[in-house]
Amino acid sequence: MDNQNTSHRIATSDDVEVSTYLEIAKELHGEQPAPQPEITTSTARETIAIIDFGSQYSHLIARRVRECHVYCELIAYDEPWQKIASLKPKGIILSGGPASVYQQGAPLAPPEIYESNLPILGICYGMQVITHQLGGEVAPATKHEYGQAILHISDKDCPLFAGLPSSLPVWMSHGDQIVELPHGFKSLAYTENSPAAAIGSDRNIFGLQFHPEVIHTPQGKTIIQNFLYRVCGCEGTWTPSNFISETIENLREQVKEGRVICALSGGVDSAVTATLVHRAVGNQLTCIFVNNGLLRREEPERALRTFRDKLKMNVIYVDASRRFLRRLKGVTDPELKRRRIGEEFIKVFERKAAQLGKVDFLAQGTLYPDVIESTTKETKAAARIKTHHNVGGLPAKMSLRLIEPLRYLFKDEVREVGLALGLPEDIVWRQPFPGPGLAIRIIGEVTPEKLEILRAADWIVMNEIKKANLYRQLWQSFAVLTDLKSVGVMGDYRTYGYLVAVRAVTSQDAMTADWARLPYDLLARISSRIVNEVPGVNRVVYDITSKPPSTIEWE
């Protein structure tokens, strides 16, 4: 087993452009939100099915497979074989998980996978599932293995290890081990504590006790790539250009003569979504950009220039900043801020959409991490940390059908598609920005004065980060206006000004994040400029907390 507690996994990816305000719409209208689209996969696309047993690393397996230019989908372990078979997979990967296979009720793979003659790779708990289901024995290990270990390859002819040295570092995370191999299997590699750290059979069924998907197994991607190419026979056809042409063709078939609306936020997800739909159906698409008054400096102007002037899209601009600020007057609770912003967005967006006449489809930029979080078994029971805060949802009474062309893409794939579509780099590489905007970067009540202070401070942070050529290396970097004031001295005079916090993090998908080790001279320039150029601020601090235990945003 992986020995990872996933029962309280955070159910929102925090600061990524994700999800919708459909729950809020449901409460407003007393109706169920519009149904989510069914999974559809091109029969011509080579696919790997990843059976998810609840490991915190499952989404990393999918990322690594995609990085090898092979399409894959995560499927819950208790889905019927028919669903897996419908993907026409070229191979199957069994993920890790927190259980022990010898416990009563432990999750197992559909038995049909072993009769399918498809190549199978089990990772950690997945290897133990293979062993248990095919007649071997798994038991608690006398010595648990957590962290780095050295793998010694005993079968140099194994295709999984082609091109690798005879010994290599790997990442272990397990408390069980194989004590008896299934019939027809042999040990392919071992570590000091695991005599069967990798196993295989002549039926192209393999198991790895370690995790090749994590960065702590430096050559793990090569092992995954060997499985995909050498064992499954994949050719690596999952490329941005293929995705674009296939998606545009599917969108034309889906929309036909219908009309589509799309909420633009200025971020890469909605931009790529709108561009794909526009390439497919042209003027049948109408985009709506709602300025909620909580955007960063010059953001509405840049977005409109991009979509109207450069991309020639039909964009309706709605300045609703006064409405949003009225709804936020006196509000200090962050969750109430989010909900009021969500409610107001739905009202504004719904009203504008109704003025367009008959509309058939709603396009939105849902990404694959959102799908994973909403469909995997562990996250169904996860506690809500924050209300999902990005926009694009409408209540069911509008009878709109959803178009989610990015539904099976990770963030890095979205950026690759954006570049292939010719979108401006400042859109493609724009750091994620929360739907509630600056409202959740202002601690306490949101006022016009505080918004201007924060816009000025945030502009300086972004300017200095870009000048230092660090913008693309960071997942997010921004300023937070706290509700604290402190005494200072400027020009021999006493001041009593706001404290601004600077936040910069590195991450792959915002599920976890680490604070960025920015150079001291860069932090000094940011601090000096904010204190000297932003009226009302006399102190700057740097947030050095990772996620978890914190979230990326302060509220």
Summarised one tens digit per residue, pLDDT across range 145-176 is 678 899 999 998 999 999 999 999 999 887 78
Distances (CA, A) of 347 to 24, 324, 340, 446: 11, 11, 11, 20
Domain boundaries, the chain: 46-231, 240-428, 442-542
Q: What are the residue numbers of the active site? A: 124, 211, 213
Question: Which residues share a beta bridge with 497?
Answer: 486
pLDDT tens for the chain, 555 residues long, are 554 433 333 333 344 333 444 444 545 544 444 444 333 344 458 999 999 998 878 888 998 999 999 999 999 999 999 999 999 999 999 999 988 999 999 999 999 999 999 999 999 999 999 999 999 999 887 776 678 899 999 998 999 999 999 999 999 887 788 889 999 999 999 998 889 999 999 999 999 999 999 888 999 999 999 999 999 999 999 999 999 999 999 999 999 999 999 988 878 999 999 999 999 999 999 999 999 999 999 989 988 888 888 888 999 999 999 999 999 999 999 999 999 998 898 888 888 888 888 889 989 888 887 776 555 443 332 333 344 333 333 444 546 788 999 998 988 899 999 999 999 888 899 998 888 999 999 999 999 999 999 999 999 999 999 999 999 999 999 999 999 999 988 776 788 999 999 999 998 777 778 999 999 999 999 999 999 999 999 999 999 999 988 989 999
Q: Are 454 and 554 in contact (CB under 8 A)?
A: no
* Whole-angstrom distance, CA of residue 530 vs CA of residue 203: 64
Residues contacting residue 427 through CB under 8 Å, at least 6 positions apart = 266, 267, 268, 271, 306, 418
Query: How far is residue 382's CA from residue 325's CA, in Å, rounded to a whole number?
Result: 32
Q: What pLDDT sits at residue 146?
A: 74
CA gap 432, 79 in Å, rounded: 33
Round to whole Å and give the CA distance between 263 and 286. 9
Question: What's residue 17's pLDDT?
Answer: 39
What's 552's DSSP letter?
Answer: S
Distance CA 76, CA 157 (A): 33
pTM of the model: 0.77
Looking at residue 494, its pLDDT comes to: 80
> Is 442-542 a CATH 3.30.300.10 domain?
yes
CB 504 within 8 A of CB 516: yes
What distance in Å separates the CA atoms of residue 462 and residue 79, rounded to the nearest whole number? 45
The stretches of 90-239 forming alpha helices (DSSP H) are: 125-133, 220-226
Return the CATH fold of 240-428: Rossmann fold (3.40.50)
**Which pair of tokens denotes residue 322?**
């006064």
Compute the half-sphere exposure of residue 263: CA atoms within 13 Å on the CB side of its CA: 28
Distances (CA, A) of 199 to 83, 158, 160, 365, 372: 27, 10, 10, 41, 29
Nearest to 313 by CA among 350, 343, 345, 276: 276
**Pair 163, 222: CB distance under 8 Å:** yes
- Show the tokens assigned to 469: 């050529």
Dist CA 145 CA 114 (whole Å): 28
Identify the CATH number of the domain defined by range 46-231.
3.40.50.880
pLDDT score, position 34:
41
Q: What is the DSSP string of 196-244?
A: TSEEEETTSEEEESS-TTSTTSTTHHHHHHHIIIIIS-------HHHHH
Query: What's the pLDDT at 19?
Result: 40
Q: Write the pLDDT tens digit of every residue in 455-490.
A: 999 999 999 999 999 999 999 999 999 999 999 887
For residue 439, what is the DSSP state?
G
- Short-list 380, 390, 404, 542, CA closest to 464: 542
- Judge whether 21 and 393 are in contact, CB under 8 Å: yes
Dihedral of alpha carbons 354, 357, 360, 362, sign: negative
Alpha carbons 263 and 545: distance in angstroms, whole number:
33
Peptide bond into 548 cis (omega under 30): yes
d(CA 548, CA 514): 9
| Residue whose C-alpha is closest to residue 11's, from 476, 511, 526 | 511
* pLDDT of res. 141: 77
Closest CA to 45 of 83, 92, 88: 88
The two domains 46-231 and 442-542 share their CATH topology (first three levels equal):
no
